[in-house]
Every structure is written in C-alpha cells, then in structure tokens.
Amino acid sequence: MKRNPSAEAAITRQCQSHLSREIKLLEQYILVSNSIHENLGVSPTSSDTGEDPIEAITRQSEALAVERDRLTIALSEYLSVPRTQATIRGLLNVISGENAQTISEQRARLLELESSIQKQNRTNSFLIRQSIDLYQRIAIELTDQRPGAPTYSSSGELTPDNSANFLQTDC
C-alpha cells in the first residue's frame, strides 16, 4: 500500500519529537538515580530551579504519558491498525530512508537507556538493602538489643548481661 509522503513526514516528525523527549526523560532519570546511588537515598534539589529532581521527573513522565497516548492514536490512524497494535516497530515496517533510520536510532537509544536503568535499579536496591542492614546493626548496638543483652525471664526477672551497652562503655 502506497503511503502519502507528507503523512509519512508528519508522523515521522511527531514520532521523532516524542522519542527525543522520552530519551531526555530517561537520561534525567539516570542522573537522579546516580545521585541516589551516590547518596543512598538522599535526593538533593537541583541548584538551577530548587525543584526536587524526582518530582520534576514525575511531572514530566505524566506529561509524556499523555503525549504517548496521542502518538499511539496517530500511529493507529497512520498504520490503519487498532491502538493495541500501533507501535514504533510497526511504523518502522512501513517507512523508509532517513525517517526510518532516525526513528530506529532513537528507539535503540531508548532500549539502551531502559537496560541501563534496570541495571542501576538492581544496584541501588542492593546498596539500599546493605545500608539498611548496616543501620539496623548499629541501632541494635546503640540500643543494647544485640544478642546477649539483658532480657526478661519467664518469671519477669531481668537476666543480667556481663557485656556493657555501647553507649555506657567508658573509652
């Protein structure tokens, strides 16, 4: 089926514009994720705007979701397929030349960023678990709840422990 060149150019521009914003958002997410990674959960505010970067990404992500729906509708109409079948890959199957190359490169970049984000999330999750474990062990030591600390017996009597509380130890 022969497609209208101006329609192809229009859908290509719309697709390229949207994919560019998706790429920028994922790149921002990676920067914030790196910051979280480095600070183990402390999310510093951006020095430029004073806005929390996580809130900014959330707001941008919500706006892109609306735009993604519009792009899906446009793809569905251009490809003459139901919305559930309207995909970038489907578009790449019917367009050619520089249009296809540009969109294909953007799609590949998004897939690369997605993979990077998944890897960072796994690493951050591990680091956060390690950090929580460390803080729990410190809290146990500081509050004298470590194994061997004084406990109550079944008769309600306090059983002594010969080791001293970390906070009460003379150095």
- Predicted pLDDT of residue 81: 95
Read off the pLDDT of each residue in 78-102 and give the average, rounded to a whole number.
93
Cross-strand pairs, 159: 151
What is the domain extent for residue 54?
5-146
153 within a domain of the structure (yes/no) = no
The predicted-structure confidence for 62-78, as pLDDT tens digits, reads as follows 999 999 999 999 999 99
Report the chain's C-alpha Rg in angstroms: 27
Which pLDDT belongs to residue 79? 94
Flag whether 63 is in a domain: yes
Would you say residue 21 lies in a domain?
yes
Please report whether residue 158 resides in a domain: no
pLDDT above 90 covers what percent of the chain?
Answer: 35
Count Cα atoms within 13 angstroms, Cβ side, for 19.
22
Instruction: Please list, residue by residue across 6-20, b when 16 or more beta carbons sit within 10 angstroms of its beta carbon and e when fewer do.
Output: eebeebbebbeebbe
Mean pLDDT of 116-138: 82
Residue 166 maps to a domain: no
Domain count along the chain: 1
- The per-residue pLDDT for 42 is 44
Q: Is 162 domain-assigned?
A: no
Mean pLDDT is lowest, of 75-79, 90-94, 128-132, for 128-132
CA–CA distances in Å: residue 116 to residues 21, 110, 123: 17, 10, 11
Is 132 inside a domain boundary?
yes
167 in any annotated domain: no
Which pLDDT tens digit goes with each residue over 11-62? 999 999 988 988 888 888 888 777 776 775 444 444 456 677 778 888 888 9
53 with 28: CB under 8 angstroms? yes
